[in-house]
Amino acid sequence: MKSLDLKIIALLCHWCAYDSADAAGRSRQDVPPQIREVHVRCSGQVDPAMVLKAFAAGADGVMVLGCKPGDCHYRTGNHQALKRMRLLQQVMAATPIHPQRLRLDWVSAGEGDRYARLAQEMVSQVKALGPVDAKGGM
């Protein structure tokens, strides 16, 4: 499987992360083509099922980006996301889907360069793990 065929879903919060992806565009950053952006309200809207479904639908990685700690426009959304994603990763550790296929991080609206860097890191991280076993997880 060519690494280009890898697909990574980026779940981006409305206030910071999605804008940072736009900023990356405005400043003509390099965002790897494997990244596929999805607009969500808040990283706190991302539930474990959403992530698992992405993997079941063929994602090789899922990146959840929210506002920086303390900057969540919904006050606690990114904290809830942190709790959920860490718990989910703990559960994933018992499955064939490696916990490192899921990444949660923070970026603020202006940081197009950071967004691009996180995207590149995520792609190489997933490349290292290779594509998800086609037979699916459990």
Partner 1 sequence: MAGPPTIALYWCAGCGGCEESVFDMAEQLIGVYEKTRIVFWPAALDARSSDVEALADGEIDAAFINGAIRLDEHVQMVRLLRKKSKCLIAHGTCAHMGGVIGLGNFFSSKQLLACAYQHAPSMATPKGPLPGQGADTGTTRHPLPGLLPAVLPLDRIVDVEAVIPGCPPPPETMAQVFDQIIAGVLPAKGTVYAHQKALCHSCPRRDTRPERITVSRFKRLQDTLWDPTVCFLAQDLICLGPVTRGGCNARCISANMPCRGCFGPTTAMDDFGAGAMALIAALMADGDETDYEALIESIPDPAGLFYRYSLAASILGKGRRP
Partner 2 sequence: MARIGVFICQCGPMLEKALDILTLVHAARRLKHVVHVETVSLLCAPEAKAALVETIRAHAISHVVVAACAPREHEKTFGKILSAAGLNPFMLQIANIREHCAWVIHDRRQATDKAGSLIQAAVQRVRHHQPLYAQQIDVQADVLVIGAGMAGISAALTLAQPDRQVYLVERSAWIGGKVALYEDLCPDMNCAACLIEADLDTVLHNDRINVITLARVVALRGRKGNFTASIRQAPRWVDTDRCLGCAACMDVCPVKTPNPVNAFLDHHPAIYIPYPGTLPHVAMVDRQHCLRTRGEPCTRCQDACPFEAIDYDQTETCREVSVGAVVVATGFDPFDPNRDDRYGHAEQDNVITSAAFERLVNPNGPTQGRIVTNDGRIPQHVAFVYCVGSRTDAFNAYCSGVCCQTAIKHARQVKRQLPECVVDHIFADLCLPGKSGQRIFDGLRTEPGIVLHRMKHPGSVRIERENRTRIVHVTGPDDVVQQIQADLVILATALEPPTGTLQLAACLNIDLDGDGFFKESHPITDPTQSCREGIYLAGCCQGPKDIPMSVAQGQAAAGRILQSLVPGGKMSLDPIVARVDTDLCSGCRTCQGLCPFGAITGDENESTVYIEKTLCRGCGICAAACPSGAIIINHFSRDAVDAEITGLLKPTDGYNEIP
CB 63 within 8 A of CB 122: yes
CB of 74 to partner 1, least distance (A): 14
Report the C-alpha gap between 93 and 97 in whole angstroms.
7
Backbone angles phi, psi at 112, to 5 degrees: -60, -40
Q: Is 84 in the site for partner 1 (CB under 8 A)?
A: yes
Contacts 24+ apart (CB under 8 A), 133-137: 133/96, 136/56, 137/55, 137/56, 137/95, 137/96, 137/97
According to CB under 8 A, which residues from 33 to 62 bind partner 2?
Answer: 33, 36-42, 44-47, 49-50, 53-54, 57-59
CB 48 within 8 A of CB 103: no
Per-position x/- string for 115-134, each x denoting binding to partner 1 as judged by CB under 8 A, each - no binding:
-------------------x
Q: Is 93 in the site for partner 2 (CB under 8 A)?
A: no
| The pair of three-digit structure tokens given for residue 73, joined into one six-digit string | 């426009």
Binding site for partner 2 (CB under 8 A): 4, 7, 9, 19, 21-22, 24-26, 28-31, 33, 36-42, 44-47, 49-50, 53-54, 57-59, 70, 73-77, 80, 84, 116
Binding site for partner 1 (CB under 8 A): 47-49, 52-53, 55-56, 76, 79-80, 82-84, 86-88, 90-91, 93-95, 97, 134-138
